[in-house]
Amino acid sequence: MVADAHAARVRQIFSNIARRYDLFNALSSFGIYRSWLARTARAAACTPADRVLDVAGGTGDVAFELARRCPPASIELTDFTPEMLEVARERIAAGAARGVDVGVREVDAHNLPYTDGSFTMVTCAYGLRNFSDRTRAMREAARVLVPGGRYVVLEFATPPWAPWRALYGWYLGHMIPLIGGVLCGDRSGFEYLRDSIRGFPPQEVICDELRRSGFSAVSYRNCTGGIAAVYTAVK
């Protein structure tokens, strides 16, 4: 029941902000999030033979970055918030997929509706901290990957340098709810997002969780002094 309540809360928040989500990302990060997406695409390094599952894909930022920088054979863009996926469909109609076969589907990351070994790569941006059961979602990602398939994750992280961590903590605590409230009229939703970032484990803990979930060759690279990190892991 707790997990169900958490999932319902997350879905409500993202359904409310879907139309302003991309603008919020741009303003709240001063545009820096674009470099995080580029780092994610470089880590993915898709080939034309790759079949990609994008979990918690939202409005399609990761999927369309892959389509632009390293187009795979196909991308299954998934999320469990229909309003976010509707924005993604509009972006596809406007040409964001750049000719890549991008399917859009409402999916729960804890129960992926795909057979074992269906994909060569799974990507996930800003999803891990919102999942009710992070380990279960990781194991599901491993299940649908082929042996040797890769899991590429972009997520907010813990800056290792104390002064930068303190400054970021102040910005996170004061400015994120303010910007979100002004743009989207949902300050409480952005207070949840702030708290989900604050409560997310440090990078090494996430690496340990990935290893326990069936992955090997786990590594990460910090972005912007550790505000975010890109994790890579192999099934």
Structure token digits, residue 186: 């949902």
- Total count of domains within the chain: 1
Tell me how crowded residue 164 is: count the other CB atoms within 10 A of its CB: 14
End-to-end CA separation in angstroms for the chain: 31
Give me the pLDDT at residue 10, please: 80
- 43 occurs within a structural domain: yes
- 168 occurs within a structural domain: no
- 176 occurs within a structural domain: no
- Summarize pLDDT for 20-36 with one digit per residue, the tens: 888 888 888 999 999 99
Nearest C-alpha neighbor of 218 from the set 231, 205, 227, 200: 231
- 25 occurs within a structural domain: no
- 51 occurs within a structural domain: yes
Give me the pLDDT at residue 180, please: 83
**Is a pLDDT exceeding 80 seen at residue 186?**
no
- 180 occurs within a structural domain: no
- Write down the pTM of the prediction: 0.94
Write out the residue range of the structural domain in which residue 92 sits: 2-18+31-158+202-234
- 36 occurs within a structural domain: yes
Q: Is the Cα dihedral 64, 83, 105, 148 positive or negative?
A: positive
- 94 occurs within a structural domain: yes
Alpha helices per DSSP H over the chain: 2-17, 21-28, 33-44, 61-69, 82-93, 134-144, 162-184, 187-198, 203-212
- Summarize pLDDT for 90-121 with one digit per residue, the tens: 999 999 999 999 999 999 999 999 999 999 99
CATH number at residue 153: 3.40.50.150
**Is a pLDDT exceeding 70 seen at residue 3?**
no
Whether 109 and 135 have beta carbons less than 8 Å apart is answered as no
Amino acid letter, 213: S
The better pLDDT of the pair 164, 192 is held by 164
